[in-house]
Amino acid sequence: MNETRHDWTKEEILAIYDKPLMELLYDAATIHRKHHDPNTVQVSTLLSIKTGGCPEDCGYCPQAARYQTNIEGNDLMSVSQVKAQALRAKASGSSRVCMGAAWRNVKDGPEFDQVLEMVRTINKLDMEVCCTLGMLTENQAKRLAEAGLYAYNHNLDTSEDYYKDVISTRAFEDRLQTIDNVRKSNVTVCSGGIIGMGERLGDRAGMLVALASLNPQPESVPINALVAVEGTPMADMEPISIWEMVRMVATTRIVMPETQVRLSAGRTEMSREGQAMCFFAGANSIFAGDKLLTTPNPDVNEDMAMFKQLGLNPQKPFIKVSQPKTVEAGDSQLQPLGEKPKWTRPGHIIERNEAVKDRAKVTE
In tens, the pLDDT along 230-268 reads: 878 778 888 999 999 999 999 999 999 999 999 988 788
Q: What are phi and psi of 132, to 5 degrees?
A: -135, 105
0.85 exceeded by the pTM?
no
Residues 336 and 261 in one domain: no
Angle of helix 138-147 relative to helix 110-123, nearest 10 degrees, comes to: 40
Instruction: Judge whether 2 lies within some domain.
Output: no
- pLDDT band with cut points at 50, 70 and 90 for residue 67: confident
Residues 304 and 331 in one domain: no
Residues 138 and 60 in one domain: yes
Residues 296 and 349 in one domain: no
Q: Helix (H, G, I), strand (E, B), or coil: what is residue 13?
A: helix
Which of 292 and 108 is assigned the larger pLDDT? 108
Residues 331 and 272 in one domain: no
Report which listed range, 49-58, 122-131, 314-323, is most confident: 122-131
Instruction: Judge whether 220 lies within some domain.
Output: yes
Percent of the chain with pLDDT over 70: 82
The residues annotated with a catalytic role in the active site are 54, 58, 61, 98, 130, 190, 262
Q: Mind giving me the DSSP string for 259-270? A: SEEEE-TTGGGS
- Gyration radius from the chain CA atoms: 19
Which of 26 and 268 is assigned the larger pLDDT? 26
Position 195 pLDDT exceeds 50: yes
In tens, the pLDDT along 259-291 reads: 999 998 878 888 899 999 999 999 999 987 654
Residues 289 and 194 in one domain: yes
Q: How many CB atoms lie within 10 A of CB 6?
A: 12
We report the CATH number of the domain holding residue 111 as 3.20.20.70
- Contact, 121 vs 83, CB < 8 A? yes
User: What CA–CA distances, in Å, run from 40 to 22, 37, 43, 325?
Assistant: 22, 6, 10, 14
What is the number of domains present in the chain?
2
**Candidate from 98-102, 118-122, 197-201, 295-299 with smallest mean pLDDT:** 295-299
In tens, the pLDDT along 109-123 reads: 999 999 999 999 999
Q: What is the dihedral of CA 107, 110, 112, 114, to 10 degrees?
A: -170
- pLDDT band with cut points at 50, 70 and 90 for residue 350: very low
Q: pLDDT averaged over the chain?
A: 83
Q: What letter does residue 46 receive in the DSSP assignment?
A: E
Report which listed range, 57-61, 280-284, 342-346, is most confident: 280-284
Position 324 pLDDT exceeds 60: no
In tens, the pLDDT along 93-108 reads: 899 999 998 888 889 9
Q: What are phi and psi of 260, to 5 degrees?
A: -85, 115
Q: HSE (CB half, 13 Å, CA atoms) of 350? A: 8
Residues 229 and 286 in one domain: yes
Instruction: Judge whether 159 lies within some domain.
Output: yes
Which of 75 and 163 is assigned the larger pLDDT? 163
Q: What residue numbers bound the domain in which 353 lies? A: 327-364
- Whose CA is closest to 348, among 52, 197, 71, 128? 128
Q: How many CB atoms lie within 10 A of CB 142?
A: 18
Instruction: Judge whether 322 lies within some domain.
Output: no
Exposed e or buried b for every residue in 60-95, given b needs 16+ CB within 10 A? Answer: bbbbbeebebebeeeebbebeebbebbeebbebbbb
